[in-house]
Homo-oligomer: A and B are copies of this chain.
Amino acid sequence: MNDSLIISNEFYSFLTGKVSTAISRRLQRNLKAGKLNITAEQWTILYHLWQEEGLTQQELANLTFRDKPSITRLINNLEKMTLVIRVNDKQDRRSNLIYLTKEGRKLREEGMKQSLLTLQEATAGLEIEELRAAQIILDKVFHNIK
């Protein structure tokens, strides 16, 4: 058994979600503490819309690494909550352009605040260089299997 096998179990458990689900749950808790009634997944959609509105569902799927049906349902729920609206694209009638409602825009400040807090909690005591190093390694992993 070589070195890569020796470390595999531990490393595997990290990559298969241990850390990311912990972060996701923490984000969820922080959002709730900030009186935001949205899920962590809904946050990822809103996050991109807070940066740029009028994205198509396909673009949101690419940005959040989900499949199209997942986006359809997330947008369904966000629309029910009147945080976003679908606007049919006049240029390409197959596409929906997703816009925030006033209500959706109002959540931006608190949403960004709670996600930044989550990030700070997650990376407390870590050096910038460590974070960069981890990012580079994870990036390589992602490109291997994406």
Contacts and interface: CB of A to CB of B under 8 A. Distances in A.
Contacts of A65: 17-18, 21-22
Nearest to A136: B130
Interface string A17-36: 11111111011000000000
A108 to B, nearest CB: 15
- Label chain A's interface by main secondary structure: helix
A116 interface: yes
Contact of A7 (B22, B122, B135, B137): B135
* Count of identical protomers in the assembly: 2
Interface residues of A, number: 51
A4 B127 CA distance: 9
A15 B115 CA distance: 12
A131 B11 contact: yes
Given A3-B128, A7-B128, A8-B119, A22 B145 contact: yes
A146 interface: yes
Nearest 7 pairs of A and B residues by beta carbon: A134-B137, A17-B20, A20-B20, A26-B145, A14-B138, A3-B128, A15-B23
7 contacts: A7-B135, A15-B23, A16-B27, A17-B20, A18-B142, A121-B144, A134-B137
